[in-house]
Amino acid sequence: MANISKYKTAVYPGSFDPVTYGHLDVLKRSLSIFDKVVVAVACNKKKPYLFKQSMRIDLIDRILKEDEEIDNNRVEVIALKGLLVKYVESINAKVIIRGLRAVSDFEYELQLAITNRTLNSDIETIFMMTAEKYSFLSSTIVKEISRLGGDVSSMVPKVIASELAKIYSKGENDETLM
């Protein structure tokens, strides 16, 4: 097993559609372990997104600039194109961070971790549990609550809540934003 303390950079991949306080919790705690965290915003062609990849990156950048708890000089936000393991290799990182909310996330995340380890046994995956108060939270739940007119301000940063309100007040749906 690799000694993760010797690695300076970790990659935190996800779709972040949209980013929630749970995602930010995992990012903040990752920064307490690593000198730098690369937030890799993924785009799965089989998955419908509310926000385009470029918009998700812009929103995360805006949040990082406003969040005083995050040293945004230690975070880089990129558009992940292609295989995660290839990207991790390309920046000479050795650690992938995956957030977990509940046991139900674990099976899927374990599959990904084993697959990534099969592709490159030098890359470690670290699972981080989100804070208990965010353990129920998912981007899907946030979008659904917002779509139905609910208040998501305790679940996402202000800029995300505002963007969701704009989208759903216009009656737009996932397909119109692709």
CATH number at residue 106: 3.40.50.620
Q: Residue 42 — pLDDT band, cuts 50, 70, 90?
A: very high
Q: What is the pTM of this model?
A: 0.88
Residues in CB range of 8: below 8 A, 6 or more apart: 34, 35, 36
Q: Residue 171 — pLDDT band, cuts 50, 70, 90?
A: low
Q: State which residues form the domain around 126.
A: 4-134
Can 139 be counted among the known catalytic residues?
Answer: yes
Query: Does residue 9 lie in a domain region?
Result: yes
Query: Does residue 123 lie in a domain region?
Result: yes
Query: Does residue 158 lie in a domain region?
Result: no
Contact present, 123 and 85 (Cβ < 8 Å)? yes
pLDDT value for 103? 66
Phi then psi for residue 114, to 5 deg, are: -65, -40
Q: Total domain count for the chain?
A: 1
Instruction: Please count the CA atoms within 13 angstroms of the CA of 141 that sit on its side-chain side.
Output: 14
Query: Does residue 166 lie in a domain region?
Result: no
Residues in CB range of 99: below 8 A, 6 or more apart: 12, 14, 22, 23, 26, 105, 127, 128, 129, 130
Catalytic one of 15, 30, 56, 139: 139
Query: Does residue 119 lie in a domain region?
Result: yes
Can 47 be counted among the known catalytic residues?
Answer: yes
Residues in CB range of 91: below 8 A, 6 or more apart: 9, 11, 38
Query: Does residue 85 lie in a domain region?
Result: yes
pLDDT value for 6? 66
Residue 152 has pLDDT above 50, yes or no: yes
Can 56 be counted among the known catalytic residues?
Answer: no
Can 45 be counted among the known catalytic residues?
Answer: no
